[in-house]
Structure 1
Amino acid sequence: MQPKRGGLTFTEAARRKQIVAAAIEVIAELGYVRASFAQIAKRAGLSSPGLISYHFANKDELIGQVVAEVYATGGALIRPRADNVATAADALRSFVEGSIAFYDTHRSYMRALMQILNGHPEARERWFDAPNTSELAGIEEVLARGQRDGEFREFPTHTVAVIIRDLLSGALLRLLVTPDLDMAAYTREMAELCHFAVAKP
Protein backbone atom coordinates (compact mmCIF):
# COMPACT_ATOMS: atom_id res chain seq x y z
CA MET A 1 0.00 0.00 0.00
CA GLN A 2 1.31 3.46 -0.93
CA PRO A 3 1.63 6.23 1.64
CA LYS A 4 -1.19 8.76 1.47
CA ARG A 5 -1.13 12.55 1.53
CA GLY A 6 -4.41 14.33 2.21
CA GLY A 7 -6.38 11.11 1.65
CA LEU A 8 -4.62 10.38 -1.66
CA THR A 9 -1.74 8.07 -2.46
CA PHE A 10 1.36 9.79 -3.77
CA THR A 11 0.58 8.36 -7.21
CA GLU A 12 -2.96 9.74 -7.13
CA ALA A 13 -1.76 13.15 -5.97
CA ALA A 14 0.86 13.24 -8.74
CA ARG A 15 -1.69 12.24 -11.38
CA ARG A 16 -4.13 14.92 -10.21
CA LYS A 17 -1.35 17.51 -10.39
CA GLN A 18 -0.49 16.31 -13.90
CA ILE A 19 -4.11 16.67 -15.01
CA VAL A 20 -4.45 20.14 -13.47
CA ALA A 21 -1.26 21.29 -15.23
CA ALA A 22 -2.57 19.99 -18.56
CA ALA A 23 -5.95 21.64 -17.97
CA ILE A 24 -4.27 25.00 -17.38
CA GLU A 25 -2.45 24.80 -20.71
CA VAL A 26 -5.50 23.61 -22.66
CA ILE A 27 -7.83 26.23 -21.17
CA ALA A 28 -5.26 28.96 -21.83
CA GLU A 29 -4.99 27.90 -25.49
CA LEU A 30 -8.54 26.82 -26.37
CA GLY A 31 -10.74 28.60 -23.84
CA TYR A 32 -13.00 27.22 -21.16
CA VAL A 33 -15.77 25.90 -23.43
CA ARG A 34 -13.48 24.00 -25.82
CA ALA A 35 -11.32 22.53 -23.03
CA SER A 36 -12.85 19.04 -23.05
CA PHE A 37 -11.65 16.06 -21.05
CA ALA A 38 -10.47 14.57 -24.35
CA GLN A 39 -8.25 17.58 -25.06
CA ILE A 40 -6.92 17.65 -21.51
CA ALA A 41 -6.23 13.91 -21.49
CA LYS A 42 -4.31 14.24 -24.74
CA ARG A 43 -2.19 17.08 -23.35
CA ALA A 44 -1.53 15.13 -20.14
CA GLY A 45 -0.46 12.05 -22.10
CA LEU A 46 -3.27 9.93 -20.71
CA SER A 47 -4.62 6.95 -22.63
CA SER A 48 -8.26 7.87 -22.02
CA PRO A 49 -10.38 10.82 -20.84
CA GLY A 50 -11.91 8.35 -18.40
CA LEU A 51 -8.75 8.60 -16.32
CA ILE A 52 -9.66 12.23 -15.61
CA SER A 53 -13.13 11.16 -14.45
CA TYR A 54 -11.47 8.73 -12.05
CA HIS A 55 -9.71 11.63 -10.30
CA PHE A 56 -12.30 14.40 -10.74
CA ALA A 57 -16.05 13.94 -10.44
CA ASN A 58 -16.80 16.46 -13.20
CA LYS A 59 -15.40 19.42 -15.09
CA ASP A 60 -16.37 21.88 -12.36
CA GLU A 61 -14.31 20.01 -9.78
CA LEU A 62 -11.32 20.09 -12.12
CA ILE A 63 -11.82 23.80 -12.85
CA GLY A 64 -11.98 24.51 -9.12
CA GLN A 65 -8.62 22.81 -8.70
CA VAL A 66 -7.18 24.77 -11.62
CA VAL A 67 -8.19 28.08 -10.05
CA ALA A 68 -6.88 26.96 -6.64
CA GLU A 69 -3.55 25.95 -8.20
CA VAL A 70 -3.09 29.31 -9.90
CA TYR A 71 -3.82 31.26 -6.73
CA ALA A 72 -1.65 28.97 -4.61
CA THR A 73 1.28 29.27 -7.02
CA GLY A 74 0.96 33.04 -7.12
CA GLY A 75 0.73 33.28 -3.35
CA ALA A 76 3.79 31.08 -2.87
CA LEU A 77 5.83 33.33 -5.16
CA ILE A 78 4.51 36.75 -4.15
CA ARG A 79 3.84 36.51 -0.39
CA PRO A 80 7.44 35.84 0.76
CA ARG A 81 8.63 38.93 -1.12
CA ALA A 82 6.13 41.14 0.68
CA ASP A 83 6.50 39.47 4.07
CA ASN A 84 10.29 39.58 4.38
CA VAL A 85 10.69 43.35 4.37
CA ALA A 86 11.02 45.92 7.14
CA THR A 87 8.53 48.61 6.14
CA ALA A 88 5.01 48.85 4.75
CA ALA A 89 6.37 50.85 1.80
CA ASP A 90 8.73 48.00 0.94
CA ALA A 91 5.92 45.49 1.39
CA LEU A 92 3.68 47.40 -1.03
CA ARG A 93 6.47 47.73 -3.57
CA SER A 94 7.35 44.03 -3.26
CA PHE A 95 3.71 43.03 -3.69
CA VAL A 96 3.31 45.12 -6.85
CA GLU A 97 6.61 43.96 -8.33
CA GLY A 98 5.99 40.34 -7.34
CA SER A 99 2.49 40.33 -8.81
CA ILE A 100 3.65 41.61 -12.20
CA ALA A 101 6.58 39.19 -12.18
CA PHE A 102 4.17 36.32 -11.54
CA TYR A 103 1.90 37.43 -14.37
CA ASP A 104 4.91 37.59 -16.68
CA THR A 105 6.40 34.20 -15.80
CA HIS A 106 3.04 32.39 -15.65
CA ARG A 107 1.18 33.79 -18.63
CA SER A 108 -0.63 30.55 -19.39
CA TYR A 109 -1.89 30.46 -15.80
CA MET A 110 -3.30 33.96 -16.13
CA ARG A 111 -4.85 33.29 -19.53
CA ALA A 112 -6.52 30.19 -18.10
CA LEU A 113 -7.95 32.22 -15.20
CA MET A 114 -9.37 34.80 -17.56
CA GLN A 115 -10.86 32.14 -19.84
CA ILE A 116 -12.57 30.51 -16.86
CA LEU A 117 -13.81 33.83 -15.51
CA ASN A 118 -15.27 34.76 -18.89
CA GLY A 119 -16.48 31.27 -19.82
CA HIS A 120 -18.15 29.89 -16.70
CA PRO A 121 -21.35 31.72 -15.66
CA GLU A 122 -20.78 31.12 -11.94
CA ALA A 123 -16.99 31.33 -11.88
CA ARG A 124 -16.72 34.55 -9.91
CA GLU A 125 -18.83 33.53 -6.94
CA ARG A 126 -17.70 29.89 -6.92
CA TRP A 127 -13.93 30.24 -7.24
CA PHE A 128 -12.78 33.86 -7.45
CA ASP A 129 -14.57 35.96 -4.86
CA ALA A 130 -13.00 34.33 -1.78
CA PRO A 131 -9.32 34.52 -2.84
CA ASN A 132 -9.80 37.98 -4.33
CA THR A 133 -11.34 39.20 -1.08
CA SER A 134 -8.44 37.73 0.87
CA GLU A 135 -5.89 39.38 -1.41
CA LEU A 136 -7.65 42.73 -1.12
CA ALA A 137 -7.65 42.43 2.67
CA GLY A 138 -3.90 41.80 2.55
CA ILE A 139 -3.30 44.99 0.56
CA GLU A 140 -5.52 46.93 2.94
CA GLU A 141 -3.57 45.59 5.91
CA VAL A 142 -0.29 46.82 4.41
CA LEU A 143 -1.79 50.25 3.78
CA ALA A 144 -3.15 50.48 7.34
CA ARG A 145 0.23 49.46 8.71
CA GLY A 146 1.90 52.22 6.70
CA GLN A 147 -0.51 54.75 8.13
CA ARG A 148 0.07 53.55 11.70
CA ASP A 149 3.83 53.74 11.21
CA GLY A 150 3.67 57.22 9.73
CA GLU A 151 4.87 56.15 6.27
CA PHE A 152 1.61 56.72 4.40
CA ARG A 153 -0.76 59.68 4.26
CA GLU A 154 -4.34 59.44 5.45
CA PHE A 155 -6.79 57.89 3.00
CA PRO A 156 -9.56 55.27 3.02
CA THR A 157 -7.52 52.07 2.97
CA HIS A 158 -10.20 49.90 1.38
CA THR A 159 -10.74 52.32 -1.49
CA VAL A 160 -7.04 52.63 -2.22
CA ALA A 161 -6.57 48.85 -1.94
CA VAL A 162 -9.26 48.42 -4.61
CA ILE A 163 -7.50 50.97 -6.83
CA ILE A 164 -4.17 49.17 -6.50
CA ARG A 165 -5.87 45.85 -7.26
CA ASP A 166 -7.50 47.43 -10.34
CA LEU A 167 -4.14 48.79 -11.50
CA LEU A 168 -2.66 45.31 -11.28
CA SER A 169 -5.59 43.85 -13.22
CA GLY A 170 -4.91 46.44 -15.90
CA ALA A 171 -1.24 45.51 -15.87
CA LEU A 172 -2.18 41.89 -16.49
CA LEU A 173 -4.34 42.80 -19.48
CA ARG A 174 -1.59 45.02 -20.90
CA LEU A 175 0.98 42.27 -20.49
CA LEU A 176 -1.17 39.69 -22.28
CA VAL A 177 -1.89 41.89 -25.29
CA THR A 178 1.56 43.47 -25.65
CA PRO A 179 4.19 40.76 -26.29
CA ASP A 180 7.04 43.27 -26.60
CA LEU A 181 6.17 45.25 -23.47
CA ASP A 182 9.22 46.56 -21.61
CA MET A 183 8.49 44.64 -18.42
CA ALA A 184 11.32 46.17 -16.39
CA ALA A 185 10.24 49.74 -17.11
CA TYR A 186 6.54 48.94 -16.72
CA THR A 187 7.08 47.23 -13.37
CA ARG A 188 9.35 49.99 -12.08
CA GLU A 189 6.91 52.76 -12.96
CA MET A 190 3.90 50.87 -11.60
CA ALA A 191 5.68 50.38 -8.27
CA GLU A 192 6.71 54.05 -8.19
CA LEU A 193 3.19 55.17 -9.03
CA CYS A 194 1.70 53.13 -6.17
CA HIS A 195 4.37 54.30 -3.74
CA PHE A 196 4.00 58.02 -4.39
CA ALA A 197 0.21 57.73 -4.43
CA VAL A 198 0.19 56.67 -0.78
CA ALA A 199 3.43 58.08 0.62
CA LYS A 200 3.21 60.77 3.28
CA PRO A 201 4.33 64.15 1.87
Structure 2
Amino acid sequence: MRTNSSESDSSFIGTARRVQITQATIEVLAAEGYTGTTMAVIAGRLGVSKGILSYHFASKAELLQAVVRFVLSEAGEWMEQRMHGAASFRGALHSYISANLSYLDSHRTEIRALTEVLANARATEGVPELFAASQAQAVHALEALFDGGRRAGEFGDVPSRILAVSLRATIDSTSESLRSDPAFDLSEFERELLQLFDRAAGQYDQITLEGASHE
Protein backbone atom coordinates (compact mmCIF):
# COMPACT_ATOMS: atom_id res chain seq x y z
CA MET A 1 0.00 0.00 0.00
CA ARG A 2 1.57 3.28 -1.13
CA THR A 3 1.49 6.36 1.04
CA ASN A 4 0.12 9.49 -0.51
CA SER A 5 3.14 11.77 -1.03
CA SER A 6 1.27 14.93 -0.05
CA GLU A 7 0.20 13.32 3.22
CA SER A 8 3.80 12.24 3.90
CA ASP A 9 5.10 15.72 3.15
CA SER A 10 2.47 17.25 5.41
CA SER A 11 3.37 14.86 8.25
CA PHE A 12 7.08 15.59 7.81
CA ILE A 13 6.52 19.35 7.84
CA GLY A 14 4.29 19.04 10.91
CA THR A 15 6.92 17.01 12.76
CA ALA A 16 9.66 19.47 11.79
CA ARG A 17 7.55 22.38 13.01
CA ARG A 18 6.91 20.66 16.35
CA VAL A 19 10.64 20.09 16.80
CA GLN A 20 11.33 23.72 15.90
CA ILE A 21 8.78 24.91 18.48
CA THR A 22 10.17 22.55 21.11
CA GLN A 23 13.72 23.79 20.55
CA ALA A 24 12.59 27.41 20.74
CA THR A 25 10.82 26.62 24.02
CA ILE A 26 14.04 25.14 25.41
CA GLU A 27 15.87 28.36 24.57
CA VAL A 28 13.16 30.51 26.17
CA LEU A 29 13.08 28.35 29.31
CA ALA A 30 16.84 28.60 29.68
CA ALA A 31 16.80 32.37 29.21
CA GLU A 32 13.54 33.43 30.89
CA GLY A 33 12.77 30.66 33.40
CA TYR A 34 9.51 28.82 33.87
CA THR A 35 7.24 31.78 34.62
CA GLY A 36 8.71 33.83 31.77
CA THR A 37 8.02 31.07 29.28
CA THR A 38 4.66 31.82 27.72
CA MET A 39 3.12 30.89 24.41
CA ALA A 40 3.36 34.55 23.38
CA VAL A 41 7.10 34.76 24.16
CA ILE A 42 7.80 31.51 22.31
CA ALA A 43 5.79 32.68 19.31
CA GLY A 44 7.67 35.96 19.30
CA ARG A 45 11.00 34.14 19.34
CA LEU A 46 9.92 32.12 16.32
CA GLY A 47 8.34 35.08 14.57
CA VAL A 48 4.97 33.35 14.24
CA SER A 49 1.50 33.83 15.69
CA LYS A 50 0.30 32.13 18.88
CA GLY A 51 -2.19 30.34 16.67
CA ILE A 52 0.64 28.44 14.99
CA LEU A 53 1.81 27.18 18.37
CA SER A 54 -1.73 26.27 19.44
CA TYR A 55 -2.21 24.30 16.22
CA HIS A 56 0.68 22.00 17.19
CA PHE A 57 0.42 22.16 21.00
CA ALA A 58 -2.94 22.57 22.70
CA SER A 59 -1.46 24.04 25.90
CA LYS A 60 1.72 25.12 27.65
CA ALA A 61 1.64 21.85 29.61
CA GLU A 62 1.62 19.81 26.40
CA LEU A 63 4.52 21.85 25.05
CA LEU A 64 6.54 21.40 28.23
CA GLN A 65 5.89 17.66 28.13
CA ALA A 66 7.40 17.74 24.64
CA VAL A 67 10.46 19.54 26.04
CA VAL A 68 10.95 16.82 28.67
CA ARG A 69 10.57 14.05 26.08
CA PHE A 70 12.96 15.80 23.68
CA VAL A 71 15.76 16.30 26.22
CA LEU A 72 15.43 12.82 27.72
CA SER A 73 15.43 11.23 24.26
CA GLU A 74 18.44 13.25 23.15
CA ALA A 75 20.32 12.37 26.33
CA GLY A 76 19.45 8.69 25.89
CA GLU A 77 20.83 8.63 22.35
CA TRP A 78 23.96 10.47 23.49
CA MET A 79 24.60 7.90 26.22
CA GLU A 80 23.82 4.87 24.10
CA GLN A 81 26.44 5.91 21.55
CA ARG A 82 29.08 6.33 24.26
CA MET A 83 28.29 3.19 26.26
CA HIS A 84 28.23 0.84 23.28
CA GLY A 85 30.89 -1.84 23.34
CA ALA A 86 32.05 -1.55 26.98
CA ALA A 87 34.38 -4.48 27.66
CA SER A 88 33.40 -4.97 31.31
CA PHE A 89 30.70 -4.02 33.79
CA ARG A 90 33.12 -1.64 35.49
CA GLY A 91 33.83 -0.11 32.09
CA ALA A 92 30.10 0.22 31.46
CA LEU A 93 29.69 1.96 34.83
CA HIS A 94 32.47 4.42 34.00
CA SER A 95 30.94 5.03 30.56
CA TYR A 96 27.52 5.61 32.12
CA ILE A 97 28.85 8.24 34.51
CA SER A 98 31.08 9.94 31.94
CA ALA A 99 28.36 9.94 29.26
CA ASN A 100 25.82 11.47 31.63
CA LEU A 101 28.17 14.22 32.74
CA SER A 102 29.46 14.95 29.25
CA TYR A 103 25.87 15.44 28.11
CA LEU A 104 25.21 17.82 30.99
CA ASP A 105 28.37 19.75 30.19
CA SER A 106 27.80 20.06 26.44
CA HIS A 107 24.01 20.65 26.59
CA ARG A 108 23.71 23.22 29.35
CA THR A 109 20.87 25.07 27.65
CA GLU A 110 18.80 21.89 27.43
CA ILE A 111 19.60 20.94 31.03
CA ARG A 112 18.69 24.38 32.34
CA ALA A 113 15.40 24.19 30.46
CA LEU A 114 14.67 20.70 31.79
CA THR A 115 15.41 21.66 35.38
CA GLU A 116 13.17 24.73 35.04
CA VAL A 117 10.31 22.43 34.02
CA LEU A 118 11.04 19.85 36.72
CA ALA A 119 11.36 22.49 39.44
CA ASN A 120 7.77 23.45 38.59
CA ALA A 121 6.57 19.94 37.78
CA ARG A 122 3.57 20.07 40.12
CA ALA A 123 2.26 23.03 38.14
CA THR A 124 2.60 21.20 34.83
CA GLU A 125 0.12 18.47 34.03
CA GLY A 126 1.70 15.20 32.91
CA VAL A 127 5.31 16.13 33.66
CA PRO A 128 5.66 14.38 37.07
CA GLU A 129 4.40 11.10 35.62
CA LEU A 130 6.57 11.43 32.53
CA PHE A 131 9.76 12.05 34.49
CA ALA A 132 8.95 9.37 37.09
CA ALA A 133 8.60 6.78 34.33
CA SER A 134 11.94 7.82 32.86
CA GLN A 135 13.63 7.63 36.26
CA ALA A 136 12.20 4.20 36.98
CA GLN A 137 13.53 2.94 33.66
CA ALA A 138 16.98 4.41 34.34
CA VAL A 139 17.19 2.92 37.83
CA HIS A 140 16.07 -0.47 36.51
CA ALA A 141 18.83 -0.41 33.87
CA LEU A 142 21.44 0.53 36.47
CA GLU A 143 20.29 -2.26 38.77
CA ALA A 144 20.79 -4.70 35.90
CA LEU A 145 24.31 -3.33 35.36
CA PHE A 146 25.25 -3.72 39.03
CA ASP A 147 23.64 -7.17 39.22
CA GLY A 148 25.62 -8.28 36.17
CA GLY A 149 28.84 -6.91 37.65
CA ARG A 150 28.24 -8.80 40.90
CA ARG A 151 27.61 -12.08 39.07
CA ALA A 152 30.78 -11.53 37.02
CA GLY A 153 32.81 -10.93 40.19
CA GLU A 154 33.59 -7.32 39.32
CA PHE A 155 31.43 -5.74 42.04
CA GLY A 156 30.91 -6.47 45.72
CA ASP A 157 27.79 -7.11 47.75
CA VAL A 158 26.30 -3.63 48.16
CA PRO A 159 22.65 -3.99 47.05
CA SER A 160 22.18 -2.98 43.43
CA ARG A 161 19.07 -0.97 44.26
CA ILE A 162 20.98 1.26 46.67
CA LEU A 163 23.79 1.83 44.18
CA ALA A 164 21.39 2.52 41.30
CA VAL A 165 19.18 4.97 43.20
CA SER A 166 22.20 6.74 44.72
CA LEU A 167 23.97 7.17 41.38
CA ARG A 168 20.87 8.38 39.59
CA ALA A 169 20.04 10.84 42.37
CA THR A 170 23.60 12.20 42.35
CA ILE A 171 23.55 12.81 38.61
CA ASP A 172 20.14 14.46 38.81
CA SER A 173 21.33 16.76 41.58
CA THR A 174 24.23 17.74 39.33
CA SER A 175 21.71 19.13 36.83
CA GLU A 176 20.37 21.39 39.57
CA SER A 177 23.91 22.44 40.48
CA LEU A 178 24.46 23.58 36.89
CA ARG A 179 21.20 25.50 37.01
CA SER A 180 22.22 27.42 40.11
CA ASP A 181 25.96 27.69 39.35
CA PRO A 182 26.95 27.91 35.65
CA ALA A 183 30.63 27.78 36.68
CA PHE A 184 30.23 24.38 38.37
CA ASP A 185 33.35 22.28 37.61
CA LEU A 186 32.09 19.07 36.04
CA SER A 187 35.51 17.66 35.18
CA GLU A 188 36.61 17.49 38.82
CA PHE A 189 33.18 16.27 39.87
CA GLU A 190 33.36 13.45 37.31
CA ARG A 191 36.73 12.28 38.58
CA GLU A 192 35.51 12.17 42.18
CA LEU A 193 32.24 10.48 41.25
CA LEU A 194 34.07 7.74 39.34
CA GLN A 195 36.29 7.10 42.35
CA LEU A 196 33.33 7.08 44.72
CA PHE A 197 31.36 4.47 42.79
CA ASP A 198 34.46 2.38 42.12
CA ARG A 199 34.75 2.08 45.89
CA ALA A 200 31.03 1.72 46.56
CA ALA A 201 30.50 -1.02 43.99
CA GLY A 202 33.91 -2.71 44.21
CA GLN A 203 35.12 -5.83 45.96
CA TYR A 204 36.25 -5.48 49.57
CA ASP A 205 38.28 -7.66 51.92
CA GLN A 206 35.60 -8.84 54.35
CA ILE A 207 38.14 -9.69 57.07
CA THR A 208 39.66 -6.22 56.91
CA LEU A 209 36.22 -4.65 57.15
CA GLU A 210 35.23 -6.81 60.10
CA GLY A 211 38.50 -6.00 61.84
CA ALA A 212 38.05 -2.31 61.28
CA SER A 213 34.57 -2.42 62.77
CA HIS A 214 36.02 -3.61 66.14
CA GLU A 215 38.73 -1.01 66.40
Q: Give yes or no for TM over 0.5.
A: yes
| 1:197 partnered with 2:182 | no
Change (3 A) 1:178 1:58: closer
Q: Indicate the larger mover: 121-130 or 153-162.
A: 121-130
Q: Flag the 1:68–1:9 CA change in 2: closer, same or farther, 3 A.
A: same
State the distance in 2 between where 1:139 and 1:92 align. 9
Deviation at 1:63, TM superposition (A): 1.2
Q: Which residue of 1 aligns with 2:91?
A: 90
Matched, 1:183 2:186: yes
TM-score in terms of structure 1 length: 0.90
How far off is 1:187 after superposition?
1.4
Q: 2:83–2:92: 8 Å Cα contact kept in structure 1?
A: yes
Give the drift of 1:67.
0.5
User: How far 1:136 sits from its partner (Å)?
Assistant: 0.9
Does the Cα contact within 8 Å between 1:153 and 1:200 map onto a contact in 2? yes
Runs of at least 4 residues of structure 1 off by over 4 A?
A: none
Residues 84 and 11 of structure 1, relative CA distance in 2, 3 Å threshold:
same
Quote how far apart the aligned CAs of 1:29 are: 2.0
In structure 2, relative to structure 1, the CA distance for the partners of 1:156 and 1:93 (3 Å cut) is same
**1:45 alignment partner AA:** G
Question: Match of 2:158?
Answer: 155
Structure 1 SS opposite 2:6: coil
**Which deviates further from its counterpart, 174-183 or 112-121?**
174-183
Alignment of 1:124-139 (within 5 A): 125-139=128-142
Quote the residue 1:64 is aligned against.
65
> Runs of 5+ in structure 2 lacking a partner?
205-215
Kindly indicate whether the alpha-carbon contact (under 8 Å) linking 1:26 and 1:40 is maintained by their aligned counterparts in 2: yes
| Alignment partners' CA distance in 2, 1:37 and 1:179 | 27
SS of the equivalent of 2:162 reads helix
TM-score normalised by structure 2 residue count: 0.84
Shift of the 90–180 alpha-carbon distance from structure 1 to 2, 3 Å rule, reads same
Verify the 8 A CA contact 1:31 1:119 in the aligned structure 2.
Answer: no
1:104 equivalenced with 2:139 (yes/no): no
Letter matched to residue 195 of structure 2: E
Alpha carbons of structure 1 residues 167 and 16: separation in structure 2 relative to 1, 3 Å:
same
C-alpha displacement of 1:78: 0.9
Shift of 1:159: 1.3
Pick which of 76-85 and 92-101 moved more: 76-85
Q: Which runs of 5 or more structure 1 residues have no equivalent in the other structure? A: none
Mean CA deviation greater in 140-149 or 120-129: 120-129
8 Å CA contact 2:115–2:175 kept in 1: the answer is: no
Report Cα offsets for 1:126-168 as digits up to 9, x if no partner.
3211011101111111111100100000121111111111221
Contact 1:24 1:112 in 2 (8 A): yes
Which structure is larger by alpha-carbon Rg, 1 or 2?
Answer: 2
1:19 is matched with 21
- State the identity %: 32
User: What do residues 81-120 of structure 1 show as CA deviations (whole Å, max 9, x unaligned)?
Assistant: 2232011101111111111111111112111122112223
Structure 1 pair 35–175 and aligned structure 2 pair: CA distance change class (3 A): closer
